[in-house]
Amino acid sequence: MRYNKKALRIKIDYNNMMESVLGDKGISDTTFYSMAQDAQAAFEAVEAGKGKNMMGWTDLPYNQDAIVEDILATAHDIRKKYEYFVVLGIGGSALGPIAAFQACNHLHYNDLPKRKRKGPKFYVEDNVDPERMAALLDVIDINKTMFNVITKSGSTSETMTQYLIINNMLKQALGDKAKDQIIATTSVATGNLIKIAKAEGYKTFYIPDGVGGRFSELCPVGLLAAAVTGIDIKGLLAGARYMDELCNTPSLKKNPALILATLQVIAMNEGKNIGVMMPYADGLKYIADWYCQLWAESLGKNVELDGTPCNKGQTPVKSLGVTDQHSQVQLYTAGPFDKVITFIGVENYRTEVKIPNGCEEFPNVNFLCGHTMNELIQAERKATEYAITKAGKQNYTIMLPVLNEFTLGQLMYMFMLQTAYAGAMMNIDTFNQPGVEEGKNATYALLGRPGYDEKRAELANAPQKQTKYLC
């Protein structure tokens, strides 16, 4: 599909971050442009790092032509043969596929009759709650299910637990043919899963070495699930390429990702340690979840690049307009000045629903009649933006002309670049996750994984819980 770049360009409006609107609660032009040198240095650092080390994700919009064709062919085969497609994964291996699925497909995709769906029913097992696994097995027929197990290392406890359960069930049901219903997405050369895949004979897709989980949606991690459910994955990549073009400048007037990174870094330096992501479209609900991982894991660090101790980062909060106007916005308007709110709006929804006439005896209801739900959600977004701005709280708006694959690719890539720029300005390693590793290692020790004796001893010597603090 061809996309009109100019008509589909996403835009940002950061008026409500600035002093000209918020007075002394806003950012002055002087403060903003005083960051120009830091912003340029961050831009140059990201440009220099593209395609290297853990920045392999910057190549994904450009270097996957052959992989995309393989994915499309595999997805076509899956749609013909299977009634269910299940992703086994956690973190970026799950959040990206969920976000793209929700954004680009019918909001009740799995409930549609088969003739109206673009592919098999889709599920993502992104937890190890035993009730969740049991519930999945109640609604799928494993004989008619393709499973995609996704883990780069092949030692992710949650994912490999899911794999062990499913593989055992498939072998009991299908014997040697079980291998035909598992696709492995993993590292090409290292880790356990690639060894298992080769031994079992699984169809395999590869996660590039320089692509971490939270940056992996635009590689086979996310593209296979998207293609299976009928999403235009070439459109996703085209949108990402377009955003990369738009961000190919260090200008704080032209580079949208750099502008947003700079604003957030200034806000963090001023003590705004909470970032709220509030899309006004149910299709973008899980973009907020995906963004929370991207922002939190990348920027939450306790040392700078030179080893200087720090405790940096901004806590991301997910919200949904208009749903959370009735649960969170009271805090955002009347609470402390510790937040930046990111609104995401959609100019043209993919359908229009008219509000019919009725309730004539109730003017405070009847005024809605003759309008559309489209008008109502736009009015609610603008009204909430106004109320938050009137209260002196910093916010900015990202507008999508329409929600489709091309605009979603732009949005996700812009957020990835924003995160990389912000990390560079904060002088931290944006791409590691030592805090996550500590929890993983403790889990391994508790469950008896070989090689973790020292960690087990450390846990055994941890302070004991005192009964006076138990109730």
Residue 17 and residue 25: Cα distance in Å, rounded? Answer: 9
pLDDT in tens, 381-415: 999 999 999 999 999 999 999 999 999 999 999 99
pLDDT value of position 27 = 98
Q: What does the DSSP 8-state code read for residue 61?
A: T
Scanning 346-452, the segments in alpha helix (DSSP H) are 363-366, 373-390, 405-425, 434-446
Question: 435, 300 in Cβ contact below 8 A?
Answer: yes
CB atoms within 10 A of CB 110: 15
Return the SS3 of 279: strand
Residue 397 and residue 410: Cα distance in Å, rounded? Answer: 15
Contacts 24+ apart (CB under 8 A), 300-304: 300/435, 301/426, 301/428, 301/429, 301/432, 302/435, 303/428, 304/426, 304/427, 304/428
For residue 19, give both structure tokens. 């002093």
Quote the strand ranges of 249-296, DSSP E.
274-279
Average of pLDDT values for 5-26?
A: 98
Q: How far is CA 467 from CA 117, 180, 459, in A?
A: 56, 53, 19
Angle at 446 between CA 440 and CA 448, to 5 degrees: 100
Q: Which residues carry out catalysis?
A: 297, 326, 440
Q: How far is CA 195 from CA 70, 126, 161, 186, 190, in A?
A: 21, 23, 16, 10, 8
pLDDT level of residue 436 (50, 70, 90 thresholds): confident
Place of tokens 């799928």: 140
pLDDT in tens, 30-53: 999 999 999 999 999 999 999 999
Total-model pTM: 0.96
pLDDT value of position 229 = 98
Residue 128 and residue 421: Cα distance in Å, rounded? Answer: 34
Quote the strand ranges of 159-283, DSSP E.
182-186, 203-206, 274-279
Task: List CB contacts of 337: < 8 A, sequence separation 6 or more.
Answer: 25, 271, 272, 392, 393
Question: 278, 320 in Cβ contact below 8 A?
Answer: yes
Pairing state between β 203-206 and 182-186:
parallel
Task: Output the CA torsion sign for 336, 338, 340, 341.
Answer: negative
Return the SS3 of 185: strand
Average of pLDDT values for 305-325?
A: 97
Evaluate if residue 442 carries a pLDDT over 90.
no
Question: 417, 46 in Cβ contact below 8 A?
Answer: yes
pLDDT value of position 358 = 97
CB environment 213-238: b (16+ within 10 A), e (fewer): bbbbbbbbbbbbbbbbbebbbbbbbb
pLDDT value of position 1 = 80
Residue 341 and residue 318: Cα distance in Å, rounded? Answer: 10
pLDDT value of position 394 = 98
Average of pLDDT values for 226-247?
A: 98
pLDDT value of position 437 = 82
pLDDT value of position 407 = 98
Q: How far is CA 59 from CA 62, 63, 182, 349, 419, in A?
A: 6, 6, 27, 31, 16
CB atoms within 10 A of CB 448: 9
Average of pLDDT values for 361-380?
A: 97
pLDDT in tens, 245-281: 999 999 999 999 999 999 999 999 999 999 999 999 9
CB atoms within 10 A of CB 125: 24
Of 20, 44, 2, the closest CA to residue 255 belongs to 44
pLDDT in tens, 55-113: 999 999 999 999 999 999 999 999 999 999 999 999 999 999 999 999 999 999 999 99
pLDDT value of position 125 = 96
Evaluate if residue 218 carries a pLDDT over 90.
yes
Average of pLDDT values for 366-394?
A: 98
